[in-house]
Structure 1
């Protein structure tokens, strides 16, 4: 994480009063942030962190202070909040950063069809088997029951054929270390090629999984930038989380 007074703006909305900020200068700052893989953690409180008041009555407000974090930080502390504190002894507002992991409430997961299942023909076979079964119930009830049964059967099938993709991927990567050493000594790289084929298959599944969760509909299939999709999915969790609720009385 990188936080403090950057003395730069990311967009024109981060300034009120005074002359307009150079678009080229803001673009350079945006490029640096992107190059570092940083995400702006946002803020709680006033949108401006710096202010200057002149004797002629006009004032300038700018958001010069901010907290930026990379993907690793976001994965560990997805629920972090940056509070802007009020102070009169400085023209900059202090940043109070509260690192916090994303604590999701414990509840039964709703069924979610995974797009990566389509890479295995067994998925279609499970759906066809459930849908072709005969049930002696009212047609409207039968459809609902088949949908529920299909979800249960696919979930069970997925545990057997897909398991935990991330855990499997980490395991295969660890297993690859020794075969690579052996290949250097013996000249036989068959195990290396086999494990790398498995890893590429898992990477494809992981990419599909995070692509679906990130809702980046314009991304092309085959892009294996899973960190980017993971970051987008984490941002969705932050955006959708409810920190507090205010009543009609303002409490």
Structure 2
């Protein structure tokens, strides 16, 4: 990590420039450094570095913003979508939001990894927040807390759920003229093998 005081005349407690390795994940980082360096050719070396730091900090605020805030917003949008009716479009939106969330968790891990004093975390450690989230998300998605029967009665007892599921699939496979396949298959890609 590179530390640089932005201004030599800065008062105590002023912020120091910190280069984040996360920034290297975007190609624009190199372009910002190059542009900033060329724009300050007449300055001495310490002023060039300070200017470059200012430009990088400004760019990073615009490009990355608050990762923690983006995670919370994306999680809330995903939760809202999952609570609504599921169709092909909603399924696709959920998939996209989940991928965005994965990327944000990776960025957050990269951010904290760079700050860890004792480098105990290894790349891909199963105890990181990212992997914990993926495992918890899968467990939460696979859990059935309750079901609404055809009479509008909510069932949450395990015995009732087992009986209801067994009856539902029994009726489904015993039906002589099944309908509603188009809606059920809407989120599934066609594949010919």
- Tell me the TM-score normalized by structure 1: 0.42
User: How far 1:128 sits from its partner (Å)?
Assistant: 1.3
Cα distance between partner residues in 2 of 1:222 and 1:150 = 33
Match of 1:198 in 2: 100
Cα distance between partner residues in 2 of 1:226 and 1:177 = 18
Cα distance between partner residues in 2 of 1:128 and 1:218 = 34
User: How far 1:186 sits from its partner (Å)?
Assistant: 1.9
Structure 1 pair 185–218 and aligned structure 2 pair: CA distance change class (3 A): closer
User: How far 1:145 sits from its partner (Å)?
Assistant: 1.1
Match of 1:233 in 2: none
User: How far 1:134 sits from its partner (Å)?
Assistant: 5.1
Cα distance between partner residues in 1 of 2:118 and 2:103 = 21
**2:48 is the counterpart of 1:146:** yes
The structure whose residues are more often helix, as a share, is: 2
Structure 1 pair 128–220 and aligned structure 2 pair: CA distance change class (3 A): farther
Instruction: Identify the structure with bigger relative contact order (alpha carbons < 8 Å, sequence gap 6+).
Output: 2
Match of 1:112 in 2: 18
The structure whose residues are more often strand, as a share, is: 1
User: How far 1:226 sits from its partner (Å)?
Assistant: 4.3
Match of 1:220 in 2: 122
Give the number of equivalent residue pairs: 117
The unaligned stretches of length 5 or more in structure 1 are 1-105, 228-251
Match of 1:12 in 2: none
Aligned residue for 1:111, secondary structure, equals strand
Structure 1 pair 219–133 and aligned structure 2 pair: CA distance change class (3 A): same
Match of 1:124 in 2: 30
Structure 1 pair 119–221 and aligned structure 2 pair: CA distance change class (3 A): farther
User: How far 1:193 sits from its partner (Å)?
Assistant: 1.2
Match of 2:76 in 1: 174
Match of 1:8 in 2: none
Cα distance between partner residues in 2 of 1:210 and 1:204 = 10
Aligned residue for 2:18, secondary structure, equals coil
2:86 is aligned, of 185, 189, 192, to 185
The answer on whether the counterparts of 2:40 and 2:48 sit within 8 Å (CA) in structure 1 is: no
The unaligned stretches of length 5 or more in structure 2 are 1-11, 131-193
- 1:19-168 map, 5 Å: 107-133=13-39, 135-137=41-43, 141=44, 143-168=45-70
User: In angstroms, what is the RMSD of aligned CA positions?
Assistant: 2.3
User: How far 1:221 sits from its partner (Å)?
Assistant: 3.4
- Tell me the TM-score normalized by structure 2: 0.54
